[in-house]
Structure 1
Amino acid sequence: MSEERQTERLGDICYIKARIGWRGLSSSEYTEDGPYLIAGQHIRGGQITWDKCDHITEQRYLESHEIILRDGDVIITKDGTIGRVARIDDLPGDATINGTMMLVRPLRRLDYRYLYHILNGRGFQKLIDDKVSGSSIPHLFQRDMVELKVELPSPDHQSKIAEILDTLDAAIRGTEAVVAKLKAMNQGLLHDLLTRGIDANGDLRPPHPEAPHLYKQTPLGWLPKEWDARLLDEVAIRGSGHTPSKSIASYWNGGIKWVSLADSHRLDQVFIRETDKEISEAGLANSSAVRHPENTVILSRDAGIGKSAILASEMAVSQHFMAWRCGSKLNHVFLYYLLQREKPRFEAIAMGSTIKTIGLSFFKKYMIALPPKDEQDRSAEILLEIESDIVRHEQELQKLRATKSGLMDDLLTGRTPVTALL
Structure 2
Amino acid sequence: MSSEPMPPDTTTPTYGAEVPLALGDLVTLVRGTTYKGSLVGEPGPALLGLGSIEPGGGFRDTDFKTYGGECPAKLMLAPGDLFAALKGATKDGKMIGSVARVPPLVPSGRLTQDTVKLQFHHRDKPTQSYVYWLLRTPQYREYCAGRATGSAVVALSRDDFLAYPVPAMTPLRAKMAELFDEIETRIALLRETNATLEAIAQALFKSWFVDFDPVRARQQGLAPEGMDEATAALFPDGFEESELGLLPKGWKVCAFTETIDVIGGGTPKTSVREYWNGKLPWFSVADAPATSDVYAVSTEKHISELGLANSSTKLLRVGTTIISARGTVGKLALTGCPMTMNQSCYAFQGKAHDSYFTYFSTRRLVEALKQRAHGSVFDTITRDTLAGVSVTYPDFPVIQSFERVVQSVMERIRENLFQAQTLSTLRDTLLPRLISGQLRLPDAQAELEGALP
TM-score (norm 2): 0.56
- Change beyond 3 A, Cα 1:353–1:135: closer
- Change beyond 3 A, Cα 1:135–1:190: farther
Query: SS where residue 103 of structure 1 aligns?
Result: strand
- Change beyond 3 A, Cα 1:4–1:74: farther
User: CA offset at residue 180 of structure 1?
Assistant: 2.8
- Change beyond 3 A, Cα 1:37–1:390: closer
Residue 25 (structure 2) aligned to one of 14, 24, 29: 14
Query: SS where residue 246 of structure 2 aligns?
Result: strand
| 1:3 and 2:9 correspond | yes
User: CA offset at residue 162 of structure 1?
Assistant: 1.9
| One-letter identity of the residue aligned with 2:418 | Q
Q: Is the 8 A contact 1:9 1:146 kept in 2?
A: no
Residue 396 (structure 2) aligned to one of 363, 373, 376: 373
Structure-to-structure mapping, 1:20-419, within 5 angstroms: 45=58, 76-78=84-86, 82-85=96-99, 100-105=116-121, 111-130=127-146, 134-152=150-168, 154=170, 156-197=171-212, 199=214, 201=223, 203=225, 214-225=238-249, 227-230=251-254, 277-278=308-309, 303=326, 326=351, 330=352, 332-333=354-355, 334-335=357-358, 337-351=360-374, 356=380, 358=382, 363=387, 367-418=390-441
Please state which structure has a larger fraction of its residues in strand: 1
- Change beyond 3 A, Cα 1:9–1:185: farther
Name stretches of at least 5 consecutive residues in structure 2 with no aligned partner. Answer: 1-6, 14-18, 40-44, 89-94, 228-236, 270-274, 276-281, 289-293, 298-303, 446-453
Spell out, residue by residue over 1:133-186, the C-alpha distance to the aligned partner (whole angstroms, 9 max, x if none): 7454555444324432233363x2232122211111111121122223333444
Name stretches of at least 5 consecutive residues in structure 1 with no aligned partner. Answer: 31-35, 206-212, 247-252, 254-261, 284-288
| One-letter identity of the residue aligned with 2:407 | L
Identify the residue that residue 256 of structure 1 maps to in structure 2.
none
Report the Cα distance in structure 1 between the residues aligned to 2:419 and 2:393, rounded to whole angstroms: 36
User: CA offset at residue 399 of structure 1?
Assistant: 0.7
User: CA offset at residue 113 of structure 1?
Assistant: 2.4
Larger radius of gyration: 1
| One-letter identity of the residue aligned with 1:412 | I
| Most deviating of 115-124 and 38-47 | 38-47
| Most deviating of 380-389 and 341-350 | 341-350
Report the Cα distance in structure 2 between the residues aligned to 1:19 and 1:6, rounded to whole angstroms: 30
TM-score (norm 1): 0.59
- Change beyond 3 A, Cα 1:396–1:6: same
Report the Cα distance in structure 1 between the residues aligned to 2:144 and 2:68, rounded to whole angstroms: 26
Report the Cα distance in structure 1 between the residues aligned to 2:262 and 2:386, rounded to whole angstroms: 14
| One-letter identity of the residue aligned with 1:277 | L
User: CA offset at residue 114 of structure 1?
Assistant: 1.7
Q: Is the 8 A contact 2:24 2:163 kept in 1?
A: no
Query: SS where residue 382 of structure 2 aligns?
Result: coil
Spell out, residue by residue over 1:318-366, the C-alpha distance to the aligned partner (whole angstroms, 9 max, x if none): 9x9798884xxx5544456534543443443332789945356974x76
Query: SS where residue 18 of structure 1 aligns?
Result: strand
User: CA offset at residue 6 of structure 1?
Assistant: 1.5
User: CA offset at residue 303 of structure 1?
Assistant: 4.9
Query: SS where residue 431 of structure 2 aligns?
Result: helix
User: CA offset at residue 391 of structure 1?
Assistant: 0.9
| Most deviating of 143-152 and 160-169 | 143-152
Query: SS where residue 181 of structure 2 aligns?
Result: helix
- The percentage of aligned residue pairs carrying the same residue is 16
Q: Is the 8 A contact 2:251 2:394 kept in 1?
A: yes
User: CA offset at residue 404 of structure 1?
Assistant: 0.9
Q: Is the 8 A contact 2:84 2:117 kept in 1?
A: yes
- Change beyond 3 A, Cα 1:191–1:83: farther
Identify the residue that residue 233 of structure 2 maps to in structure 1.
none
- Change beyond 3 A, Cα 1:202–1:162: same
Aligned pair count reads 358
| One-letter identity of the residue aligned with 1:182 | L
